[in-house]
Amino acid sequence: MTEPIVSTPLRERATKALGDRFLHEALDIATTKFIALRREAFGNFPEGEHLRDRARAIKEATLQRLDTHLETLVANVERLGGHVHFATTAEEARDVIVDIARRTGARMAVKSKSMATEEIHLNEALQAIGVTPVETDLGEYIIQLAHERPSHIIAPAIHKTKGQVAELFSRELKRPGLPADPEVLTKIAREELREKFLQADLGITGANFAVADTGTVVLVTNEGNGRMATSLPRVHVAVMGVEKIIPSMTDLAVFLAILAKSATGQKLSVYTTLVQGPRRPGELEGPDEFHLVLLDNGRIAQLAGTLRESLYCLRCGACLNVCPVYRQIGGHAYGYTYPGPIGILLTAMLNGPRSVKDLSHASSLCGACADACPVRIDIPRMLVELRREVDDKGIAPWTERVVFKTFARVLRSPRLYRWGARIGRTAQRPFVRGGRIRALPFFFGAWTRTRDLPPVAARTFQERWREL
């Protein structure tokens, strides 16, 4: 269990998000652009479909031999002079990193964007021992200043308009009157953070892949902060879910061919950084110590679980961009570290089925996510499985169970079904006006508050059949 279960019902959080005009505008702009970029990238890439199949197969094959690959990875990282740590829980991960920080006398850590470190809530733990964590990815830097959490897997501040960012920088950086100009704002971030990179004692990053065969940790970035964090401070810590291991460099090339295209529409991200242990004796730069923290936090349990397929996830964010629900409510309304379609599955993985009592229903099961996913994860299938788990474990309200069981009884009996139609016809009479139903009481009001309903037909099709 990583995160406390959010007590506010999802419907409330979602409705609040829907009322946020700025958010709505920001989401629309961002998701529409992301979709177009991705479409264009794959449109110009005929090998794309085949590579997606291959990537999916590599992920599955790796999980089928995860023990072997893990051993190979550890042996190679250690051979290169790195240290590997094994964190079963978020707490263990925090502890090992805090320990490293303490032992190496770190006072300030620069962080490259890492959802894994968000997942384990690392920053608070560092602050508690007097180490200042500085987020350096522009989006993370923005939300750190705003004391918020990321709202998208790859674009953490996508919920903010440029006006909001300008206001934030003006206030928090004591530079009043900044213009809502991304160029200007980016330049300021560059200036503010350059010194931090040069002075930091500790660099903390995530990792997109770890190549077992060569002990290589791979970072896919655009800004350059990943390169800085892995080369300038004297200690580098990479935090990575255990499912990100891949066997070889040849496998790596397959993933690189589709990852950036899925995430941002770029052929490749600006920087792909292959880290192979601490700096070598002759090297001018590089950390003296390299640590890889392998994170379980619910992943290993899914190897034989319903969410196994979600272990293929490359954290590209493509599913968020196409999700009709995410596009309306944004990331924060989901309430946990990972938002969007894959986020619901990951939330269940990290926190158990109770955490997705509502979230498993935050989907119309439209399938756009599965379509967009570079490794073809069948997210809707697993959402339905989670719903099933929520029902089977009695997490769903008992009233709901009664309703659905009754519903099933009616559907098994043509007689009850016909009665149902008759009852409907009678009950609806006071509400039908001009051939439409505009308002219904109780539960049914959920529909009629915003939409009309057709009335039950005077005679159902089956009742008319004889005359046809």
Burial of residue 329 (CB within 10 Å: 0-12, 13-18, 19+) is buried
Task: Please report, for residues 331, 351, 410, 421, 461, the alpha-carbon distance to residue 415 in angstroms, rounded to integers and kept in the order given.
Answer: 46, 44, 8, 10, 15
| Distance (Å, whole) CA 158 – CA 31 | 9
Q: Provide, rounded to whole angstroms, the least separation between the CB of residue 118 and another protein.
A: 15
Q: Provide, rounded to whole angstroms, the least separation between the CB of residue 450 and another protein.
A: 4
Size of the site for another protein (CB under 8 A): 173
Contact pick of 14, 200, 237, 240 for another protein (by CB under 8 A): 14
Among the listed ranges 115-123, 202-210, 338-346, 408-416, the one in contact with another protein (CB under 8 A) is 408-416
Residue 237 β-bridge partners: 204, 291
What residues between 167 and 196 interact with another protein by CB under 8 A? 182-183, 185-187, 189-190, 193-194
- SS3 of 239, please? strand
Residues 6+ positions from 74 with CB-CB distance below 8 Å: 84
Contact pick of 50, 102, 171, 267 for another protein (by CB under 8 A): 267
What residues between 350 and 389 interact with another protein by CB under 8 A? 360-368, 370-371, 384-389
- SS3 of 275, please? strand
Contact pick of 103, 414, 419, 422 for another protein (by CB under 8 A): 414
Q: Which is nearer to another protein, 117 or 226 (CB)?
A: 226
Q: Which is nearer to another protein, 26 or 202 (CB)?
A: 26
Contact predicate 189/177, CB 8 Å: no
What residues between 201 and 220 interact with another protein by CB under 8 A? 213-214
Contact pick of 114, 117, 225, 355 for another protein (by CB under 8 A): 225
Contact pick of 104, 274, 376, 431 for another protein (by CB under 8 A): 274
60 sits near another protein (criterion: CB under 8 A): yes
What residues between 98 and 137 interact with another protein by CB under 8 A? 136-137
Burial of residue 21 (CB within 10 Å: 0-12, 13-18, 19+) is exposed
What residues between 301 and 340 interact with another protein by CB under 8 A? 301, 303-305, 308-309, 324-325, 327-329
| Distance (Å, whole) CA 127 – CA 377 | 37
Q: Which is nearer to another protein, 148 or 385 (CB)?
A: 385
- SS3 of 396, please? coil
